[in-house]
Chains A and B, each alone.
Chain A
Amino acid sequence: MTPAKSHPDVSSRGSDTVLLVNGSLLVRTQVAEYLRSCGFRVLETRNSDEALIVLQRSSETIRVVLSGAEQGFALSRWLRAHSPQMRIVLTGTFERAAQAAAELCESGPMAKRPYDPQILIQDIKASLARAQEE
């Protein structure tokens, strides 16, 4: 039974979990889908506060934190103090986030990119452009 506002266990599945931190919903959703299509389990968070909730409250074994740079600096400090072995990849742009996702996939569960990250970048650009349309 899932209580209305409990903190259910986000159970670990070993080292195939990526904690994704990105304030842009459209970027976050598409990068997360890309990573899932190459076999990763992805925990999506919008900012460092949410990421810290996951890091502090779950028993996750997180392989890597993939974070926008703005949120990532605060997380880096926390990780250095509490989980120095955990890898964090900071991405300043969505292009860099897409490239980082592709690189993660190469060393991920399927050991390959699901498709060219340039396509992911194009998709993100198109989504962002479409979101701006009135």
Chain B
Amino acid sequence: MEDRVRSATRYVADEVHEVRPLVLPQVQPAARRWHPRRQWIVPLAAAAAVVAIAVAVVIVKDVRNSQQVPPASTASPQIPAYYVALNDASGQQSPDQVVVGDTFTGARLAMVSPPAHSSFVGITGAADDRTFVLGAQPFPYSPKWWPVEPRTWYLLRIAPGTDHPAQLARLPIPATPYGLEVTGTALSPDGSEFAVTLEPNETMNSGPEQLRIYSVSTGALLRTWTGPPSSQEWDGYLGRDNNTTLFWLADGHTLVFDYSAGGRVLDTTRPGHDLIADSRPTAWSMPFGTCSRPVVTSDGKTVAAACAAPTGSQALGGATGGNCSVAFTEYSTATGKPTRTLYQGGSCGTDSEILWISSSGDTVIGYLNRAGAEPGQSIPAVGVITQNKFRPLSFPLASGIPLPDGVAW
């Protein structure tokens, strides 16, 4: 198959023989940024640190409300009213901020910049849609190998309708050591504990895979589980600090994590430190390759994914050939069998995702491509799916928010 890909892509590429000339505007490019010489940094940093420590441990940023956006008025009681999303900077030339938005109106409540010399790279939320943990890493990105840079952690609390809709504070959780990749993050439903999965970078031989739980309030490492050697594939990290590989159930003590071609359930109250021996597999049977990343409901009974499905058929998942649509399909974690299709529609030609799911699985916030008025036209949309209906939301897709791991509700 690899050879077929090589020959086919080169065949298509070779069809292009010339390109049109580059047209540059008659404008001056941006001025070169000031790069302080290294010997200046130490005394300046020392002086600044005295002030910074006093401020940073409590509040790093206190974002004022620029538009006094009122609390969401059209919110459904079941659906979180606010989200926080990475505002992906194109070209890696500027750090990623996060945007706080109203789920239903699309109004932007706040834009939060990362602390100096860092970029936000991950986000996960508690169950209250007001409490989030953000991961940050040094910026500019290392030209060598960015995923293994240390992560520092920040608590973002949002207070819609107030003068200070977003408050960012550095968490006392220790930064991850250089060489470990963050493959999953999850904040407990009550926001008191932060779970993170770490994978050693294969080129650095820095140890086995780990799942750690930290206290949000004290930063203390509460539990650690160790996985198999790094030679085994950890089906996790896909760019940003992923929030779709680790799920904290509503009971507050059970974690479900994405492992290899399925999921495993870990009761964090039970003794043990072996990530595999002390957890049990759960049945995930959706066809990988034709489904989006699976999402687990907080009751732990259901796993759902957006799967390619044949048009005009109620078959669940599995098809990509010919005409097909997307079926937002749920499976029982007990049996692995499909239990229902929440919605079928849209186009299966591009990514579809489940971005949030209710505790029972009755409602999801999903991303899909819908057919436009003209042939071949597809219109991307984020919307609420329930009772086989898709209700579009005013989600700022055009602003470059990476889906699915760049947003948390």
- Do A and B associate with each other? no
Residues of B within 8 A of A (CB): none
Residues of A within 8 A of B (CB): none
